[in-house]
Copies of this chain bind each other. A is one copy, B any other.
Amino acid sequence: MQYNKRTHTCGELRSSHIGQTVTLTGWVDTRRDLGGVIFIDLRDRYGKTQVVFNPQHHEAIHTLAKELRTEFVISVSGTVERRPGGTDNAKLSTGEIDVLGHTLTILNKAETTPFPIEDKLDTNEDLRLKYRYLDLRRAPMQQNLLLRHKMYQITRRYFDEHSFLEVETPVLMKSTPEGARDFLVPSRINPGKFYALPQSPQTYKQILMVAGYDRYFQIVKCFRDEDLRADRQLEFTQIDVEMSFVDEIDIQTIVEGLMVRFMKEIKGIDVTAPFPRLTYKDAMEGYGSDKPDLRFGLKFSDLSGLVKDSGFKVFTENVKKGGVVAGFAVPGGAAYTRNQMDNLVDFTKSLGVGGLAYIKLTEKGIESAIEKFLGNELCMQICTTTGAKVGDLVLLVSDTWQKTYSTLGVLRMEMAKRLNLIDENAWNLHWVVDFPMFEWNDEEKRYVAMHHPFTAPKPEDAHLLDGDASKARARAYDLVMNGNEIAGGSIRIYDSALQSKVFGLLGIGPEEAKMKFGFMLDAFKYGAPPHGGIAFGLDRMAMLFAGAKSIRDVIAFPKTSSGISLMDENPSEVDKKQLDELHIKLK
């Protein structure tokens, strides 16, 4: 179809263009008929421009313009005019002008869309996903994808400036499930054999360090075949980084530089590096989380010492067994009603601990069911230690170290929400460091790597690998933003013997290690440098920057929590011929 090509975009015309003849192309966003004159807002990715069809000026075109409906695609030529006095639209960058149309081509018609192309949309997400091409026309979605685009460019420019090499690693790799399930891809040429999609390019980036590439980065798709909790995707995007001849601080410094740039270029906020560092132990004992949200306080106090000889058996026996009694003060919480407190106790029990003890500090003094066991003085000491003031409430949990703090961690977030303590405009960035090497997996009855099997132990804890390995700390670090882990990394093992030992502790015997990771153990024998790295979850970071509620809102074509793409209907059944060629059949 012949049509006038655009001379400007729909976001470009200003009063300086008045009098010029221009052509715009785009979508009819709105159409109004006022006293025989037709006004449309024409929309493209760059903005909106008002176009006027006036029968007194161009009758034939006005007649054609009557056919226009929203989402029609048109090319329109006309003259740029100043809008009549008082009709300027300050919300539009083009709001001072309109275009008096004299040539109009309808490039494509549009049926009535299943939902309106509007910023605020009250429709269910499945419909948006089915008609993703319409959903993606909405300004908030376009802004989200533009934000991602900016993040890609900032990331690559930053790493390029810092001498990192971008290297593509394979998508078809070896299946070595450890932790999460692999996606498998049957090989047609090699019957009975399978490729796996990468859960991360971990082994390849370490191999690149062994190969002397010194500084590597990649923005890369990774895959995990896990049951999708809210806000996970089967495929996700990672900013992947690895460096040689470095320690933790080198890597954290590089990462901080990127975050400073993100905050500046995306949010317009100056943040200062270095970011605070919190040990895993301090994070857990202070905030009950390995990714604490530090936009607010509600910090815990360990009260075990205070209560260990008290008259309250629940506390004393727990402390005697090695457990912990800890708690925190809730500002203004003394005003909570009996009903509200019962509700909070139930909520706490639902987290899997025995109960929730509490002390109210009112103008009349202590109000607490456990005062009779602890005595008034000890209750007052607990208030002092937790920093409770008159009018506050102290919440206390007594259980194992792990359960006490993780329960308090959930309670802390819950109270912050109820008390509206979280400043949504605040940006808090900090590191959590010194994670344990291993955590016990009750299901598999074995240790699993808290970070991954390639993480080096802290030098001063290396001897623990031959003793109480559960106490060994790793050279691992997570970057936390507003209570979300947005990056995690570690200094790696680069010694074949140490790597084999760690595999052993993880229950990966010599045979299995050789089969799965033999090439890495071999590579380490030919001159492997000290190295380490980190990986960012780009989707989640984009979501936080966008202020979006779901990562699906910052992914062009996401899948549902059942792993389904509603637009193009995949996964789908395939021809038997395809399966035959792949030497597989359905069970």
Contact = CB atoms under 8 A, between A and B. Distances in A.
Given A136-B212, A189-B227, A562-B190, A527 B73 contact: yes
Contacts of A148: 166-168
- Give the interface size class of chain A: 35 or more
A156 B154 CA distance: 11
A194 to B, nearest CB: 5
A541 to B, nearest CB: 14
B111 A245 contact: no
A152 B168 CA distance: 10
A572 B175 contact: yes
Interface in A221-265: 221, 223, 225, 227-228, 234-235, 237, 244-247, 250
Contacts of A528: 73, 108
Contact of A580 (B223, B556, B587): B587
B574 A175 contact: yes
Contact of A584 (B166, B211, B581, B584): B584
Contacts of A203: 568
A524 B107 CA distance: 12
A582 interface: yes
A296 interface: no
A562 B133 contact: no
B171 A197 contact: yes
Interface in A412-432: none
Contact of A170 (B25, B27, B557): B557
A137 interface: yes
Contacts of A250: 5
Interface in A204-218: 204, 207-208, 210-215
Contacts of A145: 165, 167, 213
A309 interface: no
A111 to B, nearest CB: 5
A32 interface: no
Contacts of A537: none
A568 B203 CA distance: 9
Interface in A108-128: 108-111, 113
A583 B142 CA distance: 39
A585 B584 CA distance: 6
Contact of A529 (B73, B113, B177, B237): B73
A250 to B, nearest CB: 8
Nearest to A234: B172
A565 interface: yes
A573 to B, nearest CB: 6
A568 B172 contact: no
Contacts of A6: 245
B562 A189 contact: yes
A46 B26 CA distance: 50
Contacts of A494: 108
A45 interface: yes
A421 B563 CA distance: 56
A317 to B, nearest CB: 43
Contact of A173 (B184, B246, B568): B568
A164 to B, nearest CB: 9
Given A170-B557, A181-B578, A190-B571, 20 more contacts: A1-B459, A46-B214, A75-B245, A145-B167, A149-B160, A152-B166, A168-B556, A169-B556, A170-B235, A172-B183, A172-B235, A172-B563, A173-B568, A174-B572, A181-B188, A189-B562, A194-B571, A208-B556, A519-B567, A584-B586
